[in-house]
Amino acid sequence: MQSSNLERAHVRVSGQVQGVFFRDSARQKAEELGLAGWVKNMPDGQVEALFEGPSERVREMVRWCEEGPQHASVENVDTDFERSSGDLEGFEVR
C-alpha cells in the first residue's frame, strides 16, 4: 500500500459498548474492509481502537463505530485522525 492515501484513526467509543460483542464485530468489519489495527476494552467502560488503511475505508469504519453492533448503545465516538505510518499488519482484539 502506498502511504499517500493511507490514514490512521484512533477511536474511543463510549456508551454500552462492552459485553455486546463490540470488539469482535469491529474486528470482523475491519477485516472485511482490509484495515489493520487493534481494538480493546478500557477499564473505564469505553472501547478503544486504532484503524489504519485507505482513507475512505478508515472513515467507513469510524462511521460503523458510531452505530456499533446490534446490542450496543453508542453515546459518543471521539476520533483523532493521524498520518499513517503504514507499519501495522493485521487486526487484533486486545
Question: Is 5 in the active site?
Answer: no
Q: What ranges do the domains of the chain cover?
A: 3-83
Sign of CA dihedral 75, 18, 94, 21: negative
At 83, is the pLDDT very low, low, confident or very high (cuts 50, 70, 90)? confident
- Residue 64, C-alpha cell as written in the block: 460503523
- Single out the catalytic residue among 23, 59, 63, 94: 23
Question: Is 76 in the active site?
Answer: no
- Single out the catalytic residue among 5, 8, 12, 41: 41
Q: What is the pLDDT of residues 47-71, one digit of tens each?
A: 999 999 999 999 999 999 999 999 9
Cβ atoms of 1 and 57 within 8 Å: the answer is no
- Residue 79, C-alpha cell as written in the block: 476520533
Q: What CATH number has the domain spanning 3-83?
A: 3.30.70.100
CA-CA distance, 77 to 10, in Å (whole number)?
Answer: 10
Give whole-number Cα distances, 74 to 2, 41, 65, 69, in Å: 33, 14, 8, 9
